[in-house]
A and B are shown apart, each in its own frame.
Chain A
Amino acid sequence: MDPAPRLGPAQIDVLAQLAVATVLLGGIYALIAVGLTLIFGIMRVVNFAHGEFLMLGMYLAFWAFTVYALDPYFVLLVSIPVFFGIGLVTYVLVMRGVIKASHNVQIFTTVGLSVVLQNVALVAWAGDFRFVRPWHLSTVIRAGPTTFNLSQVVAFLIAVGLTVALVAFMKWTHAGRVMRATAQDRDAATLMGIDTDRVYRLTFAIGIAAVGAAGVLVAPLYAIYPTAGLQFVLLSYVVVVLGGLGDMFGAMLGSFIVAAVEVAGSYLFGTAWKEIFYFILFILVLVFRPAGLFGQRGAETLGV
């Protein structure tokens, strides 16, 4: 899917199109990233398998669409509790044991998980590229000089809605406050009587639910295959580092910045070089602004 189709000669038109593409893409990246920044900010664990849960969401949408002719946006309602459950199970089976472990253990555990998930998908569903093509994918919307399709818009709107809901949850509910407290200082939280295990369980489940939902949302927009998650992992981390670990608003802002870089880069150089842009951006951020755009706490955990 080319997010920047060439239009007429007018520069403004091109810029407008790129801007719209950035916004639409950014909204989706935001949903992926807020889940990740939650997990990292609260649990202080780098989850290498994050992209694989996205991939599973994409497959869920694919199979629901192919077998039951269900539209992804309908599947979304189901996917949130499903992935919440998957997150809980994964936490209990895999993550709980490594929260307090060394960095190496965390790295290898989540890398191992990533390999397992990728290959479960490969064995179960083969490596062929799959596609979800609901009716709204081919419905084109024109607003002024810009063109986009309905799928992008709806994905964006839903992603934003979910992200806002998540932020509201963190800000205004008791559970959210407890999670934020644990993020600030896990030892103090324990001393306050907070059951950190429950917090981590909830955090991880929410993070996975968010990324699984994002997978369902983007299913119409990308090819679906077992290693599809890989492309999203790096960009998610770029976003999280840019925005500051655990900072949800930062993650949202970072998403739009990354989306802008991708859209502009693709326009100028073609979509093939996406990964290289992410890598360069990642390195630049880590070398020059390791504490994020706003200079956040958590940078010391980054260790830079």
Chain B
Amino acid sequence: MIAPLRSRPGAVVLFGVAALTPLFVRDAYFLDSLVLILLWGALSAAWNVAGGYAGQVSIGHASFFGLGAYAAALMVTRFGRGPWLGMLVGVLLSLGAGFIIGFLSNRLKGPYFALSTIAFSQVLLIGVSRWRGFTAGGEGIPVPFRPGFTTLGLGHVAWVYMALAAALLCYAVQVYLERSRLGYQLAGVREDEDAAEALGIPTRRLKVVAIALSAALTSVCGSLWAQYVGFVDPTYVFSVDLSVRFALNTIIGGMGTALGPFLGSILITTLETYLRATFSGVKTGFAGIYLIIYGTVLILVVRFVPDGLTGFASRFRTRRAQA
């Protein structure tokens, strides 16, 4: 389970390439894709903390993403303060929401927990949509671009490094979970809660901690995303599709592995960019098509390659070593 940093070549390569790319590539479109790959990777890694490492599979992480996005957007547009403050507020809100979800995780198992997380995100979606006075309702909020670091008004290159920072943060948290006492105990909770309890692990508390941590990280990325994309609307930021996407990236890459979410993000985000370019003429057709592909990929991967890419790679390596 433990792997010293130097023996994580995949991560070094991935993040190294990401860090070096802006020095050689200036194409805005390409850099935009890179930012998205890193952000979606970070979000999936955040999901992985709860889903992969603690075994609490939620399909409602958009709740935390949306809270972070709205907190940042509202802090700027409604209160005239900076998005960083909004990010902090978002984290606090998401921690609160995380505790609620954590409470649910101690009462509900598996599919019922997942269902309750979906319901939670839907409640937020509706609540935010209806609260027109405060959140501008279903119309969404355009987030103004004001150049500068404190206002998160950054150029493309700066955004790459911002997204990279978020990605490294989430990656580091995952690695910490693989090497720490907390992480080991969480692994026990994930594998068999009753056995973990018998060994002195406070399973209920740990699950809440994991979910709250996951929520906070998701919220941070949500706040960044709001500033990057420049527009938040409830039907997107709280959507089930978004929640599914966080899980999908991680599953494809390998649930419970630190690099998995990023590998999955590379694949899916690249696919989406390609589809967007190919179907740029068709309006709604595009949105539906890539989701159909995601859904199908999810069904196939979870059935035939449940360990994801990293699992596949390690089995391949084992087979080669035996040959």
- B107 in the interface (beta carbon within 8 A): yes
Q: Which of the 9-residue segments A26-34, A64-72, A101-109, A210-218 touches chain B?
A: A101-109
Contact (Cβ within 8 A) B57 A286: no
Note all chain A residues with C-beta closer than 8 A to B240. 230
In the complex, A10 has a CB within 8 A of chain B: no
Instruction: Give the residues in chain B near A105, CB-CB below 8 Å.
Output: 302-303, 306
Expressed in whole angstroms, the minimum distance between the Cβ of A51 and any Cβ of chain B is 11
A234 and B122 contact, Cβ closer than 8 Å, known pairs A112-B299, A119-B291: yes
In the complex, which residues 181-217 of chain B have their Cβ closer than 8 Å to any Cβ of chain A?
none
For A83, the chain B residues whose CB sits under 8 A away are none
Which of B23-31, B113-121, B314-322 lies at the interface with chain A?
B113-121
Measured CA separation A279–B108 after assembly (Å): 14
B53-87 vs A, CB cutoff 8 Å, 1 = contact: the mask equals 00001010000000000000000000000000000
Asked whether B288 lies within 8 Å of A122 as measured between CB atoms, the reply is: yes
Inter-subunit contact A116/B115 (CB<8 Å)? no
The yes or no answer to A261 lying at the interface (CB within 8 A) is no
A123 to B293, CA, bound (A): 12
Q: Are A304 and B108 in contact (CB under 8 A)?
A: yes
Of B14-22, B40-48, B123-131, B151-159, the one contacting chain A is B123-131
Asked whether, in the complex, the Cβ of A115 is within 8 Å of the Cβ of B107, the reply is no
Given contacts A112-B299, A112-B302, A234-B119, contact A120 B111 (CB under 8 A): no
Q: A145 in the interface, Cβ–Cβ < 8 Å?
A: no
Say whether B148 faces chain A, with CB atoms less than 8 Å apart: no
Minimal beta-carbon separation of A15 from chain B (angstroms): 27
- Tell whether, in the assembled complex, residue B116 and residue A119 are in contact, meaning their CB atoms are under 8 Å apart: no
Best-buried of B111, B120, B298 by chain A (most CB within 10 Å): B111
Which chain A residues in 110-127 approach chain B with CB under 8 Å?
A: 111-120, 122-123, 126-127
> Counting CB contacts under 8 A, is B164 at the interface?
no
Say which residue of A98, A112, A126, A303 sits within 8 Å of B284 (CB atoms).
A126
B294 at the interface (CB under 8 A from A): yes
Chain A residues with CB under 8 Å of B176's CB are none
Query: Which residues of chain A are within 8 angstroms of B114 by Cβ–Cβ distance?
Result: 46, 48, 107, 111
Judge whether B119 and A107 touch: CB under 8 Å: no
Whether the Cβ atoms of B298 and A108 lie closer than 8 Å is yes
Closest to B291 in A: A119
Report the separation of the CA atoms of residues A106 and B294 in the bound assembly, to the nearest whole angstrom.
16
Partner of B295, one of A116, A278, A286: A116
Is A140 located at the chain interface by the 8 A CB criterion? no
User: Contacts of A12 on B, CB cut-off 8 Å?
Assistant: none
Q: Given known contacts A234-B115, A286-B108, is B296 in contact with A112 (CB within 8 Å)?
A: yes
Kindly state whether residue A283 has any CB partner on chain B within 8 Å.
Answer: yes
| Interface of chain A: mostly helix, strand, loop or mixed | helix
* Residue among B116, B298, B299 making CB contact with A282, cutoff 8 Å: B116
Report if A119-B126 is in contact (Cβ < 8 Å); known contacts: A282-B119, A286-B116, A303-B110: no
For A127, the chain B residues whose CB sits under 8 A away are: 284
Q: Does B32 contact A (CB under 8 A)?
A: no
Q: Please provide the chain A residues from 249 to 304 with a CB less than 8 Å away from any CB of chain B in the complex.
A: 272-273, 275-276, 278-279, 282-283, 286-287, 290, 302-304
Task: Indicate with 1 or 0, residue by residue over A217-234, a CB within 8 angstroms of chain B CB atoms.
Answer: 000000000000010011
Determine which residue in B109, B294, B295, B306 has the highest number of CB atoms from chain A within 10 A of its CB, and name it. B295
- A97 contacts chain B at the CB level, 8 A cutoff: yes
A157 at the interface (CB under 8 A from B): no
A104, B127: Cα distance in complex, Å: 29
CA gap between A94 and B295 in the complex, in Å: 12
Contact A276 B109 (CB under 8 A): no
B-side interface mostly: helix
A59 at interface by CB-CB < 8 Å: no
- Complex-state Cα separation, A129 to B284, whole angstroms: 14
Q: A230-B240, A287-B107, A303-B108 are in contact. Are A113 and B299 (CB under 8 A)?
A: yes
User: Are B291 and A107 neighbours in the complex by a CB distance under 8 Å?
Assistant: no
| Contact assessment for B299 and A94 in the assembled complex, using a CB-CB cutoff below 8 Å | yes
Which residues of the partner chain A approach B108 to less than 8 Å between Cβ atoms?
A: 286, 302-304
Contact of A115 among B116, B120, B291 (CB under 8 A): B291
Q: Which residue of B lies closest to A123 (CB)?
A: B288
Nearest A residue to B109 by beta-carbon distance?
A: A303
In the complex, chain B residues 268-323 whose Cβ is within 8 Å of any chain A Cβ: 284-285, 287-289, 291-292, 294-299, 302-303, 306
CB neighbours of B119 from chain A (8 A): 234, 275, 278-279, 282
- Taking CB atoms, residues of chain B closer than 8 Å to A234 are 115, 118-119, 122
Q: Is B244 in contact with chain A by the CB < 8 A criterion?
A: yes
Complex-state Cα separation, A103 to B302, whole angstroms: 11
Q: Are B123 and A303 in contact (CB under 8 A)?
A: no
Give the complex CA separation of A276 and B119 in angstroms: 8
A residues within 8 Å of B by Cβ?
Answer: 46, 48, 94, 97-98, 101, 103-109, 111-120, 122-123, 126-127, 230, 233-234, 237, 241, 272-273, 275-276, 278-279, 282-283, 286-287, 290, 302-304
For the complex of A and B, the 8 pairs showing the least CB-CB separation, nearest first, are: A303-B109, A103-B110, A46-B111, A115-B295, A112-B298, A116-B295, A123-B288, A122-B288
26 A-B pairs in the complex with CB atoms less than 8 angstroms apart: A46-B110, A46-B114, A48-B114, A48-B118, A94-B299, A101-B303, A103-B111, A107-B59, A108-B57, A108-B299, A108-B302, A112-B244, A112-B299, A114-B295, A115-B292, A118-B291, A119-B287, A119-B292, A119-B295, A123-B289, A123-B292, A233-B115, A237-B112, A241-B112, A279-B122, A287-B107
Q: A46-B115, A104-B57, A119-B292 are in contact. List 12 more A-B contacts (CB 8 A).
A: A109-B298, A109-B303, A112-B296, A116-B296, A116-B299, A117-B295, A123-B284, A127-B284, A230-B240, A279-B122, A302-B112, A303-B108
